[in-house]
A and B are shown apart, each in its own frame.
Chain A
Amino acid sequence: MHEMSLASALMEEIDRISRQNNILRIDEVELRIGVLKQVVPQVMEEAFRAVSLGTLAEGAILRQVEIGARALCEDCGMEFVPAPDDFLCPVCGKFSRNLLEGDEILLGSLTCVT
């Protein structure tokens, strides 16, 4: 359900960059999303389609690149893959706040006509 909120934030960022760069049309938007964001690609696709209607990005391809989750155990130094609902180190069982990646949502690039 939060795809709509995220797509709106994405669209605002695209607008800002379009103005800065005098973009006339956008053909492709690359979005990099950490798995921990629990975004459903099809839902994101629909949300993007909705928020981009009537904008320079209407009809653009939304290329979604998934970023895996990685965490480093503060206790034993083990690098592991946390699950969205489980951040315990599989080796020592300690909780790790040391998330290396997997929680981000980044506008990667815009393919466009200026």
Chain B
Amino acid sequence: MKINVVKNVLQANDIVAAKNRQVFQEAGVLAVNLISSPGSGKTTLLEKTIPALADQGPSIVIVGDLQTTRDAERVADSAFQVTQINTGMSCHLYANQIAESLPGLELAQAYFLFIENVGNLVCPGEFDLGENLKVILLSIPEGDDKVAKYPTVFRAADMVLLTKIDLLGAFSYDLARVENDLRKLNPTAPLVPFSATTGQGMGEWLGWLAEQRKTKVGAQARFIHE
């Protein structure tokens, strides 16, 4: 017997992601999914960003990590709440794992929810978590050819942070190539040279987050909880 199905293989994940998105919306929190290769600077970005956002509002962090709690510990002091998802052998987070961690979080008290995905430039791009924004970090040492090599995540990106820009001089690196490759896939995502070491790009990043929070979450959503 042949059963015709014709169903999106990722649909089960997408349904849970849509529910998560609804929860974020109701709580008035901006959810940001941070995606990059291992070591591109996601946790370092959070270490710098969360204290700098403190005058706007508190941040919650969900860290997806294979098994250690190191990244969670690094942001524990500055974040309002931190939770760790042990992903084991999986190379990305699922919407389900986020949904399961939400009841323990006081989302309505927070302005920002940062989700540090598992270090990987491929699979996290396929699995919607319900985030408002996907931010891709691409560090200078990874090379200037990676946008074309991992097109799916860059196509889905709302912002691309070119991290460790302070190391630019140490590599033979063509910035124009990155911009050019990105524009074949994504005409709107800002491409921001960024350094956690020198602070370059920090102002633009923080300003963008504030702006996105205003447009994506709306002023009224916050009003209900205050």
Q: Do A and B share a complex?
A: yes
Contacting pair B148 A106 (CB below 8 A): no
- In terms of DSSP, what is the predominant structure of the interface of chain B? mixed
A109-B3 in contact given A9-B10, A95-B183, A104-B8 (Cβ < 8 Å): yes
A4 vs B122: C-alpha distance in the bound complex, in angstroms? 11
Contacting pair A86 B10 (CB below 8 A): no
Minimum CB distance partner of A96 in chain B: B187
Per the 8 Å Cβ criterion, residues 1-42 of B in contact with A are: 1-13
* Of A5, A21, A31, A87, the contact of B155 (CB 8 Å cutoff): A87
**Per-position binary interface string of chain A over residues 93-113, scored 1 when its CB falls under 8 Å from any chain B CB and 0 otherwise:** 001000000001111111111
Count of inter-chain pairs, beta carbons less than 8 A: 91
Flag whether A1 is at the interface (Cβ < 8 A): yes
Flag whether B127 is at the interface (Cβ < 8 A): yes
Flag whether B90 is at the interface (Cβ < 8 A): yes
Minimum CB distance partner of B7 in chain A: A107
Contacting pair B123 A85 (CB below 8 A): no
B127 contact set on A, CB distance < 8 A = 5
Flag whether B126 is at the interface (Cβ < 8 A): yes
Contacting pair A95 B184 (CB below 8 A): yes
User: Separation in Å of the A64 CB from the closest CB of chain B?
Assistant: 12
Minimum CB distance partner of A36 in chain B: B152
Flag whether B196 is at the interface (Cβ < 8 A): no
Contacting pair B13 A88 (CB below 8 A): no
A36 contact set on B, CB distance < 8 A = 152
Contacting pair B122 A10 (CB below 8 A): no
B184 contact set on A, CB distance < 8 A = 85-88, 95
Minimum CB distance partner of B154 in chain A: A85
User: Separation in Å of the B145 CB from the closest CB of chain A?
Assistant: 10
- A9-B12, A85-B148, A113-B1 known; 7 other A-B pairs, CB under 8 Å? A1-B122, A4-B91, A5-B91, A13-B5, A38-B151, A85-B181, A109-B5
- B-to-A contact residues, CB < 8 Å: 1-13, 90-92, 120, 122-123, 126-127, 147-149, 151-152, 155, 181, 183-187
